[in-house]
Structure 1
């Protein structure tokens, strides 16, 4: 039984330039060569394969040579498909890369002054300055807007103006590999949320790996304690002065996560498709059975609908249209389609669907984390509901 070569039935990749498609093809090859061979071992160990970092960094995926040599700049669609390709291989790897290329880079670009952006952008794209986004707290996730408890207080030391930060963060992916934490804290003077670039080796910073995860096992999430941490005034990102400014960052970041969810959705579908093409039961390939084909059609439809949504969302954002409800809808829908598709993929693989060697098991487990982070299904639903009715149901 021979499967169809492409999953992109509607030709969404045709919207990319030839140079962008070439860069993405190089990324696929890199992932197959360096990442795929080590995934199962490190997923089972619950450790990050550090040997994949250098190939990913050296590939210069944020500023790909193919695109620059063609006299182009990477578009938002290229960045989306980059996350898509990473997610199609593995959600943890995509989350690791997006922690730098999406979460941290967006925070600096939107929250920093022109001088801060000009200084840090080249270091961020080259990974010579590695950062992570530190917002969620042990007691505050969905209610972080009003509940954020980490505090910041203006304080001088040795004649230098700065800030004293105290608090805790949780679920911070990649913190142990970072040079700096983009820490969101509430200013004691005005109760507004500000953002500070806190070095991970600063006195008073303690980073601990969260053990026992059953999802995103390769991605190292951390608990962070901030006890009397002092940073200079220059460490504050000058354009983040309220939670409304944080929300502007999240509006961008949700689109990144929606792209990752879509990539993982395709990864689950393709893994199942490949399995049923080679596995036989009752003397026939599994893929020849009607019920299996119906599930494959259902999975691909979910994945294609998700891809259509994130492509259109990105086109709107490139045109300057940023709406909370649009990014919330994309994250909510793609995560739900991923969850359903991963379950169907596991189902058509039968008992072998829980084995790492078939890839479906990783996607199935990782779908649960993606369903919850960067805004739960319920929170995103309420953002959309507020836009529909004009009435906020948040309490």
Structure 2
């Protein structure tokens, strides 16, 4: 970034904060009665003592993630969320958690239990949802695809560096015309001497503007089936640009990717992706992880609200003393206890080999819906401060909206579970299904 652009940014910030050119008051000075989220509150949400359900390894990891997130991420998250920029300087801190790669064994990956991996996602999301999305895209989508669908040579080449965050990955499935209907993608892969040529466009791809490794899905022009490819940053014909003006997960750098005659050598085609169904084994695991994001966000909102209601006074008493506020706080608390149990049970089903795609989809759909309710109650409890990112709740309120829609919208995930329990697929309108039979 040039000095000129930095100066322009500083001027713009000054104009935005005050018409008279003065900077805005620090939140601690402007509102001394309550502590902002840059100083994160202690954990108060675990009312049913779920910590007792965790192994020693899982408890240790949970505490480690809490400490790093509260100390290193909480102080900077509002600043970068407002700027819609990624704090690259915190990547080494996230690397120190040793969670990238999650359940993958070997290749420098941590080989965590899925419960430990899920707990780490929740604890990252408790402080900042954007950081949890950054890790999820990198680890539970891109790295997991290489681990489950890659060759031995690909695993050895890419996973060790990704596990240390020395390189960053993204996962490119969604296209401008195909979101929920991802299997109808138009990006193509054409066989040529020594490899493949990819053509097409992807959209909403997290981490894509700076990713070193891009896992890209395309339709094989010979077989008409979906294949997977590893594309390297800077490949000729590859262009990734940032999607601007998001209201949620603003720290996450979602991108539009233009793919124009990008050559991928044979050694970078993922041999385990030969149809769209092969992506489902990745999505099933990632949906378990994504189900824990709303749980973690709700945990953080509850902890902030719990502290806020005891600090903030009106009518001569702390807000925590009012019956209406206590009822809302207890409503939030009950939601979180139920959400945690659903997420924990999902992990145990996966570990026992009993989890189905319907189980994973219901977990993601239901936790994101209950989190919406929980965070909305938190926004009410904070009154005017409920629209300030400084107190986390407004930020979490916005961050939940993209999570409600990605990794399968609430509706699509409901239909996945509905198909499983009824045996009837209802993704396409009946009129279209009827026309296809004519």
Matched, 1:78 2:111: no
Matched, 1:24 2:98: no
1:178/1:5 CA distance change after superposition, 3 Å: closer
1:119/1:292 CA distance change after superposition, 3 Å: same
Matched, 1:200 2:200: no
Q: Distance in 2 between matches of 1:177 and 1:32?
A: 25
SS of residue paired to 2:74:
helix
- Structure 2 counterpart of 1:303: 336
Q: How many residues align?
A: 383
Q: Distance in 2 between matches of 1:27 and 1:36?
A: 12
Matched, 1:320 2:353: yes
1:120/1:13 CA distance change after superposition, 3 Å: farther
SS of residue paired to 2:300:
helix
Q: Distance in 1 between matches of 2:118 and 2:331?
A: 23
The two structures, once aligned, show a CA RMSD in angstroms of: 1.9
Superposition map of 1:320-339 within 5 A: 320-339=353-372
Residue deviations 1:126-160, cap 9 Å, x none? 12332111100011101112x2110000011xxxx
- Structure 2 counterpart of 1:90: 128
Structure with max Cα Rg:
2
Which range moved further: 204-213 or 293-302?
A: 293-302
- Structure 1 counterpart of 2:186: 149
Displacement after TM superposition at 1:249 (Å) = 1.2
Residue deviations 1:15-39, cap 9 Å, x none? 3222332232122111122111111
8 A contact 1:268–1:364 mirrored in 2? no
Q: Distance in 2 between matches of 1:59 and 1:4?
A: 19
Which range moved further: 355-364 or 9-18?
A: 9-18
SS of residue paired to 1:206:
strand
SS of residue paired to 1:175:
coil
- Structure 1 counterpart of 2:73: 35
SS of residue paired to 1:181:
strand
Q: Distance in 1 between matches of 2:195 and 2:255?
A: 26
Q: Distance in 1 between matches of 2:350 and 2:177?
A: 32
1:167/1:5 CA distance change after superposition, 3 Å: closer
Residue deviations 1:210-264, cap 9 Å, x none? 0011111111110000000001011111111001101221111111110111101
1:375/1:284 CA distance change after superposition, 3 Å: same
Displacement after TM superposition at 1:343 (Å) = 0.7
Matched, 1:260 2:293: yes
8 A contact 2:101–2:144 mirrored in 1? no
1:196/1:35 CA distance change after superposition, 3 Å: same
SS of residue paired to 1:37:
coil
Matched, 1:361 2:398: no
1:234/1:4 CA distance change after superposition, 3 Å: closer
Q: Distance in 1 between matches of 2:377 and 2:385?
A: 13
Q: Distance in 1 between matches of 2:182 and 2:320?
A: 46
Q: Which one of 30, 54, 58 corresponds to residue 96 of structure 2?
A: 58
Superposition map of 1:212-223 within 5 A: 212-223=245-256
Q: Distance in 1 between matches of 2:154 and 2:241?
A: 29
Displacement after TM superposition at 1:5 (Å) = 5.5
SS of residue paired to 1:152:
strand
Could you list the runs of 5+ residues in structure 2 that have no partner in the other structure? 1-33, 35-40, 429-438
What TM-score does the superposition give when structure 1 sets the normalisation length? Answer: 0.93
Displacement after TM superposition at 1:7 (Å) = 1.6
Q: Which one of 380, 384, 401 corresponds to residue 347 of structure 1?
A: 380
Matched, 1:113 2:146: no
Q: Distance in 2 between matches of 1:345 and 1:310?
A: 21
Q: Distance in 1 between matches of 2:353 and 2:50?
A: 21
Q: Distance in 2 between matches of 1:333 and 1:225?
A: 34
8 A contact 2:80–2:87 mirrored in 1? yes
Displacement after TM superposition at 1:60 (Å) = 2.3
- Structure 2 counterpart of 1:289: 322
